[in-house]
Structure 1
Amino acid sequence: MVLLRRVIGDALRARRQGQHRTLREVSTAANVSLGYLSEIERGQKEASSELLAAICDALGARLSELLGEVSSTLSLAEGMEGVLVPVDADAVKSQSKPVDGDVSVSVRRESPLKATLHATRKPHRDVVYAA
């Protein structure tokens, strides 16, 4: 099962790392503790909509962009057999599926009820981040 908080955390971490920024820089800008931001990025804590908006603002992104990306990732996961539904214990432990040339998704099944979804999105060339 893919947890929404993990996909949100992965998307936030990817944006932060894509800007070559540290947890400390983003946590200070979003006015959230470094430890709590780290837990959000690792999918261990669920952030409120207000906190997500503050983190997105600190990253120079719109909340709608982040949620759209998360929605796309979950949609891809739903299309991969066995990712969001229980599967046989003898099922394949991991899958990888390139999608649309810009996104690749890999799934690592850790147990019948736990899977880690990792989506990699190539950055668009026309995206410019301000320093």
Structure 2
Amino acid sequence: MVLLRRVIGDALRARRQGQHRTLREVSTAANVSLGYLSEIERGQKEASSELLAAICDALGARLSELLGEVSSTLSLAENMEGVLVPVDDPAAIDPVRKVATDGRVSVSVRQDSPLKATLHTKRNAKRDVIYAA
């Protein structure tokens, strides 16, 4: 299972790093504590829609852009064979990293347990804003 908060955090971090900005700069602009923003970026905390909008505003992005990126990442992950499906036998899990791309974003997933998958994304640098994860 891919956690939505993890994908959102990856997208926020990629956008921030693409702008060469620090957590401190963005947390001050969004009026959120540095520690909380760090937890959001690492997928450890779920941000409210109001907080996501404030962070996006601090990054000069629309919330719809961020959610569109998250949606395309999840869509790509959902189409990867055996990634977002329940596993009856935990011993049958293949922890090998699976990779998929649609030309704009690359997704790699490592299935660690029936309910834990680590998803990493990387956005194509040819877009107007550079993304890295």
Asked if these proteins are the same fold (TM beyond 0.5), I'd say: yes
Most deviating of 108-117 and 118-127:
118-127
Match of 1:119 in 2: 121
Whole-Å separation in 1 of the counterparts to 2:96 and 2:105: 17
Inter-partner Cα distance in structure 2 for 1:62 and 1:12: 12
Unaligned 5+ residue runs, structure 1? none
CA contact (8 A) 1:94 1:106 kept: no
What is the number of residues matched between the two proteins?
A: 128
Q: Secondary structure at the match of 1:69?
A: helix
For structure 2, the residue ranges without an aligned partner over 5 or more in a row are none
- Work out whether 1:3 is the aligned partner of 2:21: no
CA distance, structure 2, for counterparts of residue 56 and residue 71 of structure 1: 16
Structure 1 residue 58: Cα displacement? 0.4
Indicate which of 109, 112, 115 corresponds to 2:111. Answer: 109
RMSD: 1.6
Contact 1:104/1:121 (<8 A) preserved: yes
5 Å matches for 1:57-76? 57-76=57-76
1:125 positional shift:
4.2
Change (3 A) 1:83 1:37: same
Q: Match for residue 100 of structure 1?
A: 102
Structure 2 CA distance, aligned partners of 1:96 and 1:42?
21
Say whether residues 1:42 and 2:42 are aligned partners: yes
Which contiguous aligned blocks of 4+ residues in structure 1 show a shift greater than 6 angstroms?
none
- RCO comparison, higher one (Cα < 8 Å, 6+): 2
CA distance in 1 between partners of 2:39 and 2:128 (Å): 31
**Is the 2:27–2:33 Cα contact (8 Å) retained in structure 1?**
yes
- Pair 1:46–1:125, CA change in 2 (3 A): closer
TM-score by length of 2: 0.88
